[in-house]
Amino acid sequence: MPKAPNTALIQISGKTSGALIELNNVTKQYPNQPVAAVENFSMTVQPGELIMFVGPSGCGKTTTMKMINRIIEPTSGSISIDGRDVLSLNPSELRRHIGYVIQQIGLFPHMTIAENIAVVPKLLGWTKEKTSDRVQELLTTVGLEPGDFAHRYPKQLSGGQQQRVGVARALAADPPVMLMDEPFGATDPITREKLQAEFLRLQASLGKTIIFVTHDFDEAVRLGDRIAVLSNRSQIEQFDTPANILTNPANEYVSSFIGRGTAIKRLVLVPVTAAKLGPASAATRTTSFVQTTDSLRDALDALVLTGASALAVRDEENRIVGSINMEAISAVLGVEVPLLARTTEN
């Protein structure tokens, strides 16, 4: 961390992993508009939590997020990070301690990748050596070879690479809080899935407090610790873990937003090992496997694809530890399965 600047921000910047965010009755009312964009929004986000704001466009989810770093000023209510009143701080200094990633990325085209990442460290007055060390470290973290990428310009990078730089830039000063506005929204599905997986791995080691805005419910299920399903005026329809929302949608609005196929969506969240594995001998085919680290959805996918009744499950050393079939998957979802008394041998 940088030497704490002599501002009111010492408490926010003193931490690098996770801060408590509290929003209390936050309202945004634009002049000359009959209804508020955000009305009485209250939420407590625990340190290290990855919170997804999901809702249709225009529901106020982005507005709500942008009030936390005061890109948009709330009309009333209070916002605090680790107990410090955000609205009483200098907005520019506040923002240097909150990572910010937007869908359009917004890399500065006239600066090299290294210069882009160094923006916040420079604002914070880091030394040259410390900044350049940090740039190298971050490029490596997001999977871009520093020697190859540091001196390129944004236009010389693909969309996915630019988005990685966007994330690296937001992480530059190791802020405890990150705000992400549909960061993977503009990338193609394959790149998006890759970025999501990398992002999850990154967050597992960093433990930032993250507010992540998306309109893609599947993305919310995949990434979020908790999901806030929002309707007009940023009203919270349900705020719970992905599994709980999928199992018990609070109301009609939430169900309709989740859409069909909730069972399959839930499978994404469950590792293969959560199912009762059958005997290894039940797997008739030896050419298709699932790994113990895969999700039940991967297992289902493989079952459907191969038409096999059971698939072998391998652990990380590629030893076969059992088999999995349709009943085992259904059982995890709580669906009544005829009691066929499957035995587990591991």
Binding stretches for another protein (CB under 8 A):
69, 71, 92-97, 100, 102, 104-112, 119-120, 123, 153-155, 169-170, 179
Closest to another protein by CB, 58 vs 259, is: 58
51 or 114: whose CB is closer to another protein?
114
Nearest to 23 by CA among 45, 47, 48: 45
Structure tokens at 8: 């009111």
In the complex with another protein, the residue whose CB is nearer, 13 or 80, is: 13
Q: What residues pair up with 100 in beta bridges, in sequence order?
A: 179
Nearest residue (CB) to another protein, 95 versus 265: 95
In angstroms, give the least distance from the CB of 103 to another protein.
8
CA distance 215 to 212: 10
DSSP 54-108: E--TTSSHHHHHHHHTTSS--SEEEEEETTEEGGGS-HHHHHTTEEEEETT----
- Minimum CB–partner distance for residue 124 and another protein (Å): 8
Of 88 and 281, CB closest to another protein: 88
Of 186 and 269, which has the nearer Cβ to another protein? 186
Least Cβ distance, residue 117 to another protein (angstroms)? 11
Q: At closest approach, how far in Å is the CB of 166 from another protein?
A: 8
- 312 Cβ contact list (under 8 Å, min separation 6): 280, 283, 285, 286, 288, 289, 290, 320, 322, 323
| Closest distance to another protein from the beta carbon of 268 (Å) | 31
Minimum gap (Å) between residue 112 Cβ and another protein: 7
DSSP tag of 218: H
Pairwise CA distance, residues 254 & 270, whole Å? 21
Spatial distance between the Cα atoms of 70 and 95, rounded to a whole number of angstroms: 8
**Smallest distance from another protein to CB 273, Å:** 41
Helix intervals (H) in the chain: 10-13, 61-68, 91-95, 113-117, 119-123, 128-141, 146-149, 159-171, 189-206, 217-223, 242-247, 252-258, 262-267, 296-306, 326-332
> By C-beta, is 166 or 242 nearer to another protein?
166
- C-beta atoms surrounding 136 within 10 Å: 15
